[in-house]
Chains A and B, each alone.
Chain A
Amino acid sequence: MNTVSDDPRIVSVSGRAMTLRGDDIDTDQILPSRYLKAITFRGMEAHVFADNREAARLRQRRHAVDDPRFAGASILLVNRNFGCGSSREHAPQGLRRFGFQAIVGVSFGEIFAGNCVSVGMPCVQASDSVVSIMQRINEAAPSTRFTIDLAMLTVSAGNESFPVTLAEGRRRQFLDGTWDPTSVLLGAGDAIEQTLTTLSLAASAT
């Protein structure tokens, strides 16, 4: 899903939300290893949280992504350290293809948050108490419309508005439409080779 639409700028994301509670939900849980073998990201959405969903089913419970109240959600509300663990990009790809366009959480795994940038899915941070309030609003009334405004750095839910944060570099990438890095990088042209030739003797490796 690295397609660049006509206007790649991402200024805001609006839609219904889905609350997924829990700290330290790692990328192995978001997308279990056995699905990493596919040589394409197509169809990855079917496998998000596969093991956790199965475990919930066995206990006669329902995982959030199987809960019809949250169907069609485009914003995921998570807690601490979401996406920690392995660097697999299948995790953000799966979530993005599932339909999420942004994630709000207390904190995120470093590599995961970076990978989310390159699929055009901002991970914005809010305080513990703000996330709890948003999750409560969402669970009490799943049809509530959430809007993440990257220009103002706010999330609104119904009539309420909350402050969120996002590293400035990343925020600019979304606002300027430069989150698709390949074209930005190729824009450097010969400067790349100039840097490489001034470097050590790495080239002797070849």
Chain B
Amino acid sequence: MGQTLYEKVFDRHIVREVTAGQYQLAADLHFLNEVSSPQAFEALRERGLRVRHPGRTFGSADHSISTGGDPLDFVDPMAAEQVEAMGRNMAAFGLTYFDPSRGEHGIVHVVAPERGLTQPGMVIVCGDSHTSTHGAFGAIAFGIGTSQVRDVLASQTLLMEKLKVRRVEITGRLAPGVYAKDVALHVIHVLGAKGGVGFAYEFGGAVVDGFSMEERMTLCNLAIEGGARCGYVNPDQTTYDYLRGRDHAPQGAAWDEAMTAWEQVRSDRDAAYDDVVVLRGEDIQPMVTWGVSPDQSVPVGGAVPDPTAISGQEQGPTRDVLDFMGLRPAAPIAGTRIDVAFIGSCTNGRVSDFEAVADQLRGRGLRVAPHVRALAVPGSRRVREALIAKGIDKVLIEAGFDFRDTGCSLCCGMNADSLKGQETCASSSNRNFRGRQGSPTGRTMLMSPVMVAAAAIAGEVTDARRFFAQPTEPGAKS
């Protein structure tokens, strides 16, 4: 019986079995951010420990960095302190820092892949749940807590239990206007936000095989929202084509050797899975979340639940959630008024995400609705520069988007970009938890970047496929 990529990579990284089922696992790479690293460095200092493998440790400040122009212009003194501590720690321990004062920064899950750090067969850890993003390359990548950040800094290893593996196969093809984000939200809707607890998700099938690396990153990014600690796609030619020539990718003879090694980590044809789920690409519609958990979603043509139609224990909580979201029971999701639109985050803050939006807007004279605040926040400085080089910034600005500098921004509301009061935000990010976007009563509706753009212009949730198909100006052709 063959093995899955997860098992192969896990086994190769075992230093030893510490107790039954508990392994000491080596990490190839460790990424740091300003939120979960300061206490780890504090603990290291307290114990007089050094960073064991500085060459495998990379950091970027992303969560609280300012996106208003000067990345270090903080409105919040605590954010300033955090980013300062990050810079100090990176220098003191001799680690590679994508320094905001040199304009190298960005969301670490965007920066590391674009620099070719993330490679197939690696174990990658970071004190952030969305580390699962890196699984797009056939790496086993997962979020860790601050204690584990301390452990990895001190030992380049951590304690791990082996996960089960569920293959999630998306067959057939997607209809036009359906994106990787919709696939991810659909998977989470079908399997539940907790459905993946205890599992690694292996994504495959014709739809995933046909995805670009950026689409695969969107999908793996959201694995954690389905409860899976990590998600991955087996490496293939798409992976290698993306990696070739990037800053940290192997070169020359090392490249050929690496390719051979990468081919070997793919799941075997006869690999045994703990579970297999097959979903049809044709069944997937543009999705919108109506609630406060990422599995509370409906296709854009659908309606929010009617608590009276739900029996038993779920009725009360559903009513609470609808109250919180300001939604009427059984109302169609389309037509929900929005106040804020956000395109960005490690889920959907890459070049192709903004490109897809610009393709809908270009030359149409479309404008963001007067009552909507619309933010476009590139996932990294490099993404920002690429967008400017392609003229995409202008398309967004002309449509009334605030084209900002890079950072996590409104995904987590830890810098000045946050919701106010009960504002409703159409968001391309990954979490719709209460209070997530910086206001305890703020409301988040997750959807694809193109759906966010349509909502920004319409001023309400709308089916982007129909919305962008209409001629909008006298004589305008679509």
Tell me if A114 and B434 are in contact (CB < 8 A): no
- Of the stretches B139-147, B267-275, B344-352, B353-361, the one at the interface is B139-147
Q: Is the CB of B248 within 8 A of A205?
A: yes
Contact of A111 among B14, B16, B78, B145 (CB under 8 A): B145
Contact A169–B36 (Cβ < 8 Å): no
Q: Verify if B431 is at the interface (C-beta below 8 Å from A).
A: yes
- B417 close to A (CB within 8 Å): no
Are B79 and A37 in contact, CB atoms less than 8 angstroms apart? yes
Per-residue 0/1 for B137-163: is the Cβ within 8 Å of any A Cβ (1 yes, 0 no)? Answer: 000000111111011001111110100
Instruction: Please report the C-alpha to C-alpha distance between residue A176 and residue B49 in the assembled complex, in whole angstroms.
Output: 24
B386 at the interface (CB under 8 A from A): no
B36 neighbours in A (Cβ, 8 Å): 87-89
Measured in the bound complex, the distance between the Cα atoms of B194 and A93 in whole Å is: 23
Query: With an 8 A cutoff between CB atoms, is A192 at the interface?
Result: yes
* Residue contact B435 to A200, C-beta cutoff 8 Å: no
Contact, CB under 8 Å: A2 / B433: no
Secondary structure at the A interface, as helix, strand, loop or mixed, is helix
Chain B interface residue count, CB cutoff 8 Å, equals 82
Complex Cα gap A24–B20 (Å): 30
A195 — which chain B residues lie within 8 A by C-beta? 13-15, 26
Judge whether A85 is part of the interface by a CB distance below 8 angstroms. yes
From known contacts A34-B414, A192-B26, A202-B119, infer whether A89 and B76 are also in contact, taking CB-CB under 8 Å: no
* Minimal beta-carbon separation of A83 from chain B (angstroms): 11
| Interface residue A5 (Cβ < 8 Å from any Cβ of B) | no
CB contact between A188 and one of B16, B49, B116, B431 (< 8 Å): that residue = B16
Give Cα A199–Cα B144 distance, bound, in whole angstroms: 21
Whether, in the assembled complex, A159 has its beta carbon less than 8 Å from a beta carbon of chain B, the answer is: no
Q: How far is the CA of A29 from the CA of B435 in the complex (A)?
A: 8
Nearest CB of chain A from residue B53's CB, rounded to whole Å: 7
CA distance A110 to B164 in the complex (A): 13
Name A171's closest neighbour in chain B (CB-CB). Answer: B19
Indicate whether B238 reaches chain A with its CB closer than 8 angstroms: no
Find the A residue at minimum CB distance from B42: A40
B224 → A minimal CB distance (Å): 8
Question: Among B254-262, B387-395, B464-472, which stretch is in contact with chain A?
Answer: B254-262
Contact of A86 (CB < 8 Å), options: B19, B122, B431? B431
Q: Is A28 an interface residue (CB 8 A)?
A: yes
| Contact pick for B127, options A26, A87, A181, A199, CB 8 Å | A87
How many Å from the CB of B389 to the closest CB on chain A?
26
Q: Indicate if the CB atoms of B440 and A202 lie closer than 8 Å.
A: no
Q: Nearest Cβ in chain B — how far from A131, in angstroms?
A: 14
Are B145 and A87 closer than 8 Å at their CB atoms? yes
Residues on B with beta carbons closer than 8 Å to the beta carbon of A200:
28, 119, 121-122, 258, 261-262
Cβ contacts under 8 Å, B156 to chain A: 192, 196
Determine whether B378 belongs to the interface, using a CB cutoff of 8 Å to chain A.
Answer: no
In whole angstroms, what is the CA distance A184 to B143 when docked?
Answer: 21
- Select B433's contact among A26, A184, A188, beta carbons within 8 Å: A26
- With A33-B412, A84-B193 in contact, do A199 and B12 touch (Cβ < 8 Å)? yes
Given contacts A85-B431, A192-B52, contact A169 B20 (CB under 8 A): yes
Residues 240-266 of B at the A interface (beta carbon under 8 Å) = 248, 250, 254, 257-258, 261-262
- Residue B207 at the A interface, CB < 8 A? no
Q: Is the CB of B435 within 8 A of A37?
A: no
**A89 to B144 Cα, complex, angstroms:** 9
Within the complex, the shortest CB–CB distance from B260 to chain A, in Å, comes to 10
In the assembled complex, B216 has its CB within 8 A of some CB on chain A = no
Residue pair A39, B414 in contact (C-beta under 8 Å): no
Q: B20 → chain A, closest Cβ, in Å?
A: 6
Complex: A199 Cα to B116 Cα, angstroms: 17
Known: A51-B434, A188-B155. A115 touches B145 (CB 8 A): yes
A66 on the B face (CB < 8 A): no
A168 touches B76 (CB 8 A): no
Residue of B nearest to A204 (CB): B250
Q: Indicate if the CB atoms of A110 and B227 lie closer than 8 Å.
A: yes
Interchain CB contact under 8 A, A28 and B434: yes
The answer to whether A23 and B119 touch (CB under 8 A), given A39-B85, A51-B435, A181-B147, is: no
Chain A residue numbers with a CB within 8 Å of B20 are: 168-169, 172
Are A28 and B147 in contact, with the CB atoms below 8 A?
A: no
17 contacts between A and B (CB under 8 A): A26-B433, A34-B413, A37-B64, A37-B414, A39-B42, A41-B146, A51-B435, A84-B193, A86-B129, A89-B145, A93-B39, A111-B143, A185-B151, A199-B28, A204-B254, A204-B258, A205-B28
Other 10 A-B pairs with CB < 8 A, given A86-B129, A169-B20: A28-B436, A32-B435, A38-B78, A40-B38, A169-B19, A173-B22, A182-B49, A192-B52, A204-B248, A206-B56
